[in-house]
Each structure stands twice: as structure tokens, then as C-alpha cells.
């Protein structure tokens, strides 16, 4: 077992093309010995977004605070608010957009060793 104080991990800017005002804090990854999945904390500034992207693995996401939208292909839009749980299936193009006045904070879990959204 392991307890990792998140205060000891710095946010890093999301530098993937198309990202605006998004930062990531990699809470648990394979560097910690996690064999199956990684847990990351995203913070997206008002008006900001993650890159519009897709990949062959799923995401599980939990909205901690703020308001936003999950946007997909063909104009699909899903409103997001605190307490929402989100599943993005493999190969679904998507972006998380902050539509509120406060930071949008979300936990995102993916398989370990995937380069998504860094």
C-alpha cells in the first residue's frame, strides 16, 4: 500500500496541441508501482479545454468541482457538473471544456503508460 500526498506533486501544463488553460497532476502512475491504471487530476481554467483527441483506451472521469462540457464528434455535447461520473469509450473523440467561472477540476483514470493529454 502507498499513500501519496497530492500536495507534493506539481501541476504541469498540458502541452498537447489544442489544449488551452489545462494543467495535469499525475497522482498515481506506473512510477508508483501501479500495474493497471493511472490516476490524474486535471484543472482547466475558465474558457480552457483539453485537446480534442481520441485513443484506443477508455477514460473514467469524476468531476470534482466546476462546470463544463464533454464535447465529441458531430457536435455531441454533454453538460458536466460537480459529482458527475463520465465514461469515454475507446476511440471516441472528445474534449473537456470549462464553461464556468471557476476552475473545472476532474479526476481521470486511464491504463498506465499511456501518453494521453500531457
**Tens digits of per-residue pLDDT, 61-97?**
999 999 999 999 989 999 999 999 999 999 999 999 9
Q: Which domains does the chain have, with CATH numbers?
A: 12-111 (2.60.120.10)
Any bridge partners for residue 69, and if so which? 79, 97
- pLDDT digit string, tens, across residues 31-72: 999 999 999 999 999 999 999 999 999 999 999 999 999 999
What does the pLDDT average to over 15-40? Answer: 94
Q: Helices in the chain by DSSP H: which ranges?
A: none
With residues binned 3-state (H G I as helix, E B as strand, rest as coil), the percentages for the chain, rounded to 5, are 10, 50, 40
For residue 76, what pLDDT is reported? 95
Average pLDDT, the chain: 94
pLDDT > 70? residue 115: no
pLDDT of 117 > 60? The answer is no
Q: Closest Cα to residue 15, out of 46, 67, 53?
A: 53
> What φ, ψ does residue 30 adopt, rounded to 5°?
-65, -25
Amino acid at each position: 500500500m502507498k499513500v501519496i500526498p497530492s500536495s507534493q506533486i506539481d501541476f504541469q501544463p498540458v502541452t498537447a496541441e489544442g489544449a488551452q488553460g489545462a494543467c495535469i497532476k499525475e497522482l498515481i502512475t506506473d512510477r508508483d508501482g501501479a500495474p493497471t491504471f493511472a490516476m490524474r487530476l486535471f484543472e482547466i481554467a475558465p474558457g480552457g479545454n483539453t485537446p480534442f483527441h481520441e485513443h484506443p483506451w477508455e477514460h473514467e472521469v469524476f468531476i470534482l468541482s466546476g462546470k463544463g462540457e464533454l464535447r465529441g464528434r458531430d457536435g455531441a455535447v454533454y453538460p458536466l457538473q460537480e459529482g458527475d461520473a463520465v465514461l469515454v469509450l475507446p476511440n471516441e473523440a472528445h474534449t473537456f471544456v470549462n464553461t464556468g467561472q471557476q476552475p473545472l477540476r476532474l479526476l481521470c483514470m486511464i491504463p498506465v503508460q499511456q501518453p494521453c493529454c500531457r
